Structure 1
Amino acid sequence: MSVTRPTTPVTRVTPDVLVIGAGLAGLACAHDLLASGLRVDVLEASDGVGGRMRSDRVDGFVIDRGFQVFNTSYPQAKRRLALRDLRLRPFTPGVLVHTDQGRVHLADPTRAPRTVGGLLRGGPAAPRDLLALAALSARDMLGPVRPLKRAEDHTTRTAVAAAGISEEFADLFFRPFLSGVFLEDELETSSRVFHLVWRSMLRGTLCLPSDGIGDVPAQLADALPADTVRFESPVDRLTDDGVLLADGGESAAGVVVVATGPEPAVRLLPGLDMPPYRVVTTYFHTAPASPLAEPTLLTDTRLRFLNSCVLSEVVPGYAPAGSSLIATSVLGEDTGGRERALREALAETYGTDTAGWDLVTARTIHDALPAMPPPQPLTRSSRVGPGRYVCGDHRTTGSVQGALASGARAAREILRDLGR
Structure 2
Amino acid sequence: MRFVALAVIIFSVPIFFVLLQQNARYRRYLYFAVGFLPFVISAWNLDGAIISWATWPGQIAFPFTAIFIAYIGAAALSIVFSNNPQASFFYAWQLGTVMLVFWASANICMTADGPKMIIAGLICGITLQAGFSINQKLSGVVQASGTMGHQNLLGVATHFALYPSLALLMATKKAKLPVLGVIAGLIVVAFGASRATIGLAGIGVMLLIFLSMVRKPSARKTKVAVIGLVILAAATPVAISSLQQRFAINSTEGSNEERQAFERAAKMIWSDHPMGIGANQYVVIANTEGYSQRAGVIWNQGSRSAPVHNSYLLVAAETGFIGLFCFILLIFVPIIAALKFAWANRGDPRGDLAVGIGVTLTVFALHSFYEWVMLTWVIQYLLAIAIGMLAGLMMQRKAMKRAAVIAKRKKQQETGGNGVPALVKST
Output the TM-score relative to the length of structure 2.
0.24
Q: Which has the higher strand share?
A: 1
The structure with the largest helix share of the pair is: 2
* TM-score scaled by length of structure 1: 0.24
